[in-house]
Amino acid sequence: MSEPIEVLITMPFPEHLTDQLAEVSPRLKITVQKATKVEDIPAELWSRVQILYTNKVVPPTDLVPRLRWIQFHWAGVDHIIDNPILHKPNLVATTLSGAAASQMAEYILMMLLALGHRLPDLIAHQQHQEWPSDRWERFSPKELRDSTVGIVGYGSIGRQVARLLHPLGAIVLASKQNAMQPEDIGYIPEGMGDPGGDFVHRLYPNQALHSMLKDCDFVVITVPKTPATTGLISEAELEVLKPSAFLIDVSRGGIVDHQALIQALKDHKIAGAALDVFPEEPLPADSPLWKLPNVIITPHISGNTPHYDERAVELFAANLQRFLSGQSLHNRISPKQGY
């Protein structure tokens, strides 16, 4: 047998999930040691580690001479993208992009339906014990069937949204960095996503975002946070939306300009929004967003699921198999691209 490969997991994975990883290969010597800072792991252990699975605990380069691969526990890595360790020679870092796609797509579908069917207004009338005389006009829905849904960032989440929308009869538009490549080359759980780009009616390059936005009844923001996407949806982008359009944001705080969004909502330049991410979290109590009647606010929980660790381990196990066989890993981070 070849020499053992030291794997350190700094997350408190239960034994049955660790056993699942150990079944990948007898070469893997897995240590699970919960840590919130580098000092929680003995220097002697750091010196042996070749594969690190971590949340946010990232050691300095000189502490991990044998480290060859870091698998992060989340899809978003904007908090770590400038860390010097990502420039360590011969080191690969990967994300969990795809592991959260299922529950986030369900959240987005929920918000599409809630906004389109006037749920905030319905609940407000329920709380006031009112049965409005103009209920047919007031609660006239914007149905998903034949509506145009624009997805800004056609990655694993956006592709699963498109899959869910397909049988509902929506027209799906999407923007992505390379619009000439409709296929998904990332991690795809079986039976999910849009591997061949078959559920999107038209792909737009990022430079043509305005052309896409002007045709949308709903806009879903799912891009990663990078220098290029920060402030991506600002006053200019909101101006081209229809007054009847709704916006759903599950990306990262700072991609949507919230000052411009608040003004657009107040001025009824767009019909409403569902927001799960904010430039400052928790959202301050004095934010005008709390009291706007055409806004649904959730506390950054669109990716929440009791099955996250299981799905994370499935992806990590797939990447372990690829690592052992010398294949390219899923979801490699590019410091240059910022994700």
Dump pLDDT digits (tens) for 307-318.
999 999 999 999
Q: Which long-range contacts (CB under 8 A, 24 or more apart) does 40-46 make?
A: 40/10, 41/8, 41/10, 45/8, 46/8
Nearest in space to 202 (alpha carbons), one of 175, 238, 184: 175
pLDDT, position 320 = 98
Provide CATH 3.40.50.720 ranges for the chain.
5-99+306-324, 101-297
Q: pTM for the full model?
A: 0.95
Do residues 29 and 51 lie in contact, with contact meaning Cβ atoms separated by under 8 Å?
no
**Residue 166 corresponds to which tokens in the numbers above?**
């397909």
Let me know if domain 5-99+306-324 sits in CATH 1.10.3720.10.
no
**pLDDT confidence bin for 208, thresholds 50/70/90:** very high
**pLDDT confidence bin for 2, thresholds 50/70/90:** confident
Residue 300 designated active-site: yes
15 pLDDT higher than 70 = yes
* The residue type at 181: Q
pLDDT, position 217 = 98
**Residue 158 corresponds to which tokens in the numbers above?**
């956006």
**Span 120-145, pLDDT tens digits:** 999 999 999 999 999 999 999 999 99
**Residue 102 corresponds to which tokens in the numbers above?**
């299922």
* The residue type at 265: L
Do residues 7 and 31 lie in contact, with contact meaning Cβ atoms separated by under 8 Å?
yes
Instruction: Write the CATH number of the domain with boundaries 101-297.
Output: 3.40.50.720
**pLDDT confidence bin for 300, thresholds 50/70/90:** very high
Catalytic annotation, pick one of 125, 210, 300, 307: 300
**pLDDT confidence bin for 323, thresholds 50/70/90:** very high
**pLDDT confidence bin for 179, thresholds 50/70/90:** very high
**pLDDT confidence bin for 1, thresholds 50/70/90:** low
185 pLDDT higher than 90 = no
CA distance 195 to 141: 32
